[in-house]
Amino acid sequence: MTLNVNEIRKDFPILGRETAGGRRVIYLDSTATSQKPIQVIEAMNDYYRRSNANIHRGVHTLAEEATALYEGARERIAKFVNAASSREIIYTRNTTESINLVAYSWARANLKAGDLIVLTEMEHHSNLVPWHMLQMERGVELEFIPVTEDGLLDLEAYKTLLNRSPKLVSFAHMSNVLGTINPAAEIIKLAHAAGAVTLVDGAQSVPHLSVDMQALDADFYAFSAHKMCGPTGVGVLYGKTALLEAMPPFLGGGDMIKEVKLRSFRPNTLPHKFEAGTPAIAEAVGFGAAVDYLTQVGMADIAEHEHAITEYALERLEEIPGVKLFGPSADKKGGVAAFTLDGIHPHDVAQILDRDGIAVRAGHHCAQPLHEKFGIPATSRASFYLYSTKDEVDLLVKGLYKVKEMFG
């Protein structure tokens, strides 16, 4: 089935907006954050209009409605990623906080000086800095799976690293710069055979691919609502029940406790043990609506559409003299095209494109080590989603020719 993109675009109010210069918005920055359909916006508005109250504590009508909406969203998110139980879905603020939760709770309870953590050279800073902090505090060792020139992970080097019996293997399912879709199930299986726990950064994969926790067998998996048509400020840490139950709480306060005395406390059951204080209730409601929306559209159709757009974009960009693309071929990547233009800084590229209403990202995309690997300070990045069109790719290419003309 082919997506009816023209109909889908009608669900996204912002795509009808014009910039100050009277240009229609051409949004090619979905890897940073996706746009939100009216169904998500209205679900959050309806919560505030009709059911706003704090959750879990009240027995009045509004509190019970709010709790049902909040927990109902959790159940639908669990189903969306095929978790064994909604108790394995921990609400956080975002992917970054989810990774930090694992670093602070599981890692500090289980790792000691000399223990090895295996990461990759393509990680977002969110999956690097928490481990640098742990290294400074505990003396753990960090090693990295190399990235090949064509933007793939060197799995033979990974197998060599596994001979050193790492305690944790943590990696991005999909690169936010290269678009590389890593063979997550294979990486996890090899890690488990070596006795390692696995943590997957799924910020870029869950919005674009059908992700199945049972099939992948990841121990922990982190993702954010705002990259998958949902609101900012809410994300998820998926964790296997046995691991989560054995972990100490991350934050202390209300709702994460079963009992508190002056000199002691007992933590709550899952998932509430890791959700201290009043959470982002409206955002969770919006997250549930986003999952409903993506489910209705169909993840397989979304992936097929993005592949077609990405393949077309790479072909068109390669036509432009002076453009260098980064990452693998379209069949091995998601909807991302990172590139440089000879002699022109990526920030200049982005600013000039913006004059025509074309929104792309420029910089190191929170992946400085990866850019250093390729010997460049920054890239321009166009990224695509279910509402992207080939016409927008054509406008991007036309805009890049205009950039070249301006710089002579």
As annotated, the active-site residues are 366
Tokens found for residue 66: 């709010």
Give the residue from 273, 302, 315 showing the smallest Cα distance to 384. Answer: 302
3-state secondary structure of 403: helix
Based on the number of CB atoms within 10 Å of its own CB, is 134 exposed (0-12), middle (13-18) or buried (19 or more)? buried
Q: Which residues pair with 355 in a beta bridge?
A: none
Q: Where are the beta strands (DSSP E) in 262-313?
A: 264-267
Contact status, residue 371 vs residue 176, Cβ threshold 8 Å: no
Strand order in the sheet with 361-363: 323-326, 336-341, 379-383, 361-363
Tokens found for residue 282: 């409206």
Q: What is the DSSP letter of 218?
A: -
**Distance, CA of 227 to CA of 204 (rounded, Å):** 7
Rg (CA), the chain: 22
Alpha helices, DSSP H, located in 139-197: 155-162, 184-193
C-alpha 170, offset from chain centre: 14
Look-up of token digits 């726990």: 197
Alpha helices, DSSP H, located in 17-169: 38-46, 61-80, 95-101, 108-110, 129-138, 155-162
**Distance, CA of 30 to CA of 27 (rounded, Å):** 7
**Distance, CA of 362 to CA of 340 (rounded, Å):** 10
